[in-house]
Structure 1
């Protein structure tokens, strides 16, 4: 069997998601200034990519389980590159929305094809840690991408941001094209919806999706909130979130294997809700940035925690389809958060939009108690 090119895949996914992350910083203002749209349209543009990502992940994961990971990941990188170019050249808002859908499909194939490739041969008691480490390629890109966008904008203006968004997935293409594929197996085609969303993935996915609504609200609305409400820190908000998120994920991922995904999920959901409540009530820049950091800590471990729970619940099923289906709920949470959060912000104000996100994090905490009776015993490292 070919050696798994884990590090090369990690960097390929990182570059793809750096591109997507950069659009999260640049897109809201781009939509408002170039297409004369409001916060609801900006939220739709940000969130729409995650609709295609959610739809793509289970198919990409199932194909990867069947030995087709390399072509799936390569196709994802190519689609992301084409979509990035379309962002730059879009003549109207409709074309931009189409580009968001294509980018979402590409990103879904990129990560959900690569993760089961990497998980192949990983011992069951280390899968939470491995998922946390490899997930840093995706979450690191989403978190650091906005920082890159700010730096590129200061260096060369908006055009520099969008050309960087085009160049990054091209690097992904080169990295994946220089790898060898998995040992081939005949891919198993889905026969029903249950084949794409295994029963054991549904409840952990729901927890993840409800938590993702808070992340989606931040990415779609934080920059506009801090600037339009004159709170301050609009160039620092996503950077503070990224730092808190990445530090928590880097240091905390082993806690998932040690204490179990469910226990970790309950703690971080409380932290996320507290951060969003504080953000909604923030009187000024310092408190708002502190609240953003607390929220980043809360969201930092929810993905490896949910992955661990999902893999224990789905047993011998391929990790690609199980984790791909679960991760689709994350995308759906972000998809809903964009337009719904934008609508709430337009009608009731940004603070109400973040308050709703906090309420859904509390709801996710409650859902974890519906998961508990069905979870298999947690293996300890």
Structure 2
């Protein structure tokens, strides 16, 4: 199927010719849309703590509540992608992200008591979570539909590169905007990003909805994919801890350039995907996940115990390298255990485990930071990565048992 044909027709089967070009456009869509997360991520904690005068627990809540909204809407997003088409899920997500940027602007601009501005900000964070849920589930279902299961790991790798490349670029840019013109300028970036992303997505041909009304029950899907999902959640604690508290950690240590920690994380993440992105499809997901969880563990310990700025930045980079292949590695496992008509629901449920980790890590590690200091937050993430390694052994044992039984 040639590029000029696919660009005008609805795709009903995996694409052969022109697939990488289409996947590149989807990845660019994600990269632009994910600036709605990357731009404010290093400054939310500063805005809430320094400008609004809120506690570390409320800082963690403001960061993490976005992911609570995401997890609560993954089921809806998966159903939209399966039954009405992933392109509709993506465009509804873009609209929600645009509205979230407008709400951020209100929180930055309105006068009044700090608690009122905080509640407005929380409303924007919830809407970002809803929009991200629809956008990412739509993109993943769209990409895997064009790729077919045999290239699903490649789709997840490219989409993840776009996400964390956006994070790497967006974090210092967001900090620069915040330092120059405050949170209102960051809000303007959040408004512009989904508009540009939506325009790019128009160049990708839609795919046929696969599910109709015959999709598998959501809880049955969860029962099939909970092992890789729980492992993904344990991996996600480390990144959530960095997103919520690295700015305050650097400030407490009197180290400059906190945004560069997220850049180091994102750049190493993308580098690992570029070099090793094909490994999950070739070698099997659980084996790759185990190796990269161990790398994440080392990076988090290095970040949390670093005596100086260079080692802290190195720790953030090693953590990003370790986190890079875990989502696609375990995602290959997920795609292989569900029927095609429930793929969007399965990918939504799988990503929801990561959202749970992101949503709960902020407030829980906020308590930990109040009791034991900011270093303890990253050590806790390392412990969770170690538990993820244990879960991977459980997955490998299950896969061997299924293979022996001919399942």
TM-score, with normalisation over the residues of structure 1? 0.91
* Deviates most, 168-177 or 36-45: 168-177
Instruction: Tell me the residue number matched to 1:33.
Output: 50
Match of 2:295 in 1: 271
Bigger mean CA deviation after superposition, 182-191 or 99-108: 182-191
Distance 2:74 2:169 in 1: 22
Larger Rg, first or second structure (1 or 2): 2
User: Secondary structure, in 3 states, of the residue corresponding to 1:37?
Assistant: coil
CA distance in 1, matches of 2:363, 2:152: 34
Mapping for residues 1-381 of structure 1, pairs under 5 Å: 2-3=10-11, 6-90=23-107, 91=110, 92-153=117-178, 156-176=181-201, 181-184=206-209, 187-188=212-213, 192-195=217-220, 197-314=221-338, 316=340, 318-375=342-399
1:187 to 1:242, Cα distance in 2 relative to 1, 3 A: same
The 3-state SS of whatever aligns with 1:174 is helix
Structure 2 unaligned segments of length 5 or more: list them.
1-8, 16-21, 111-116
Kindly state the Cα deviation for residue 78 of structure 1 after the two structures are TM-superposed: 0.3
Alpha carbons 2:137, 2:348 under 8 Å: kept:
yes
What secondary structure is seen at the aligned counterpart in 1 of 2:39?
helix
Q: Tell me the number of residue pairs that the alignment of Structure 1 and Structure 2 aligns.
A: 376
Secondary structure class of the residue paired with 1:343: helix
* Whole-angstrom distance in 2 between the partners of 1:191 and 1:294: 39
Deviation per CA, 1:12-39: give whole Å up to 9, x if none.
Answer: 2221111211111121111123321122
Check whether the contact 2:81–2:141 (CA below 8 A) recurs between aligned residues.
Answer: yes
Contact 1:212 1:334 in 2 (8 A): yes
Give the distance between the partners of 2:192 and 2:233, measured in 1 at CA. 30
CA contact (8 A) 1:279 1:354 kept: yes
Distance in 1, matches of 2:203 and 2:269, equals 31
Q: 1:29 to 1:182 in 2, by over 3 A?
A: same
Q: List 4+ stretches of structure 1 deviating above 6 A.
A: none
Contact conserved, 1:63 with 1:69, CA < 8 A, in 2? yes
Moved more, 3-12 or 217-226: 3-12
TM-score normalised by length of structure 2: 0.86
Which secondary structure state, in structure 2, belongs to the residue aligned with residue 198 of structure 1? helix
The answer to whether the 8 A contact 2:42-2:259 is kept is: no
Write the distance in 2 (CA, Å) between the matches of 1:358 and 1:68.
Answer: 38
Matched residue of 1:36: which SS? coil
Quote the Cα distance in structure 1 between the aligned partners of 2:187 and 2:207.
Answer: 34
1:129 is displaced (CA, Å) by 1.7
Q: In structure 1, what is the Cα distance between the partners aligned to 2:73 and 2:138?
A: 10
Distance 1:161 1:189 in 2: 43
Q: Distance in 2 between matches of 1:60 and 1:173?
A: 17
Distance in structure 1 (CA, Å) of the matches to 2:87 and 2:337:
27
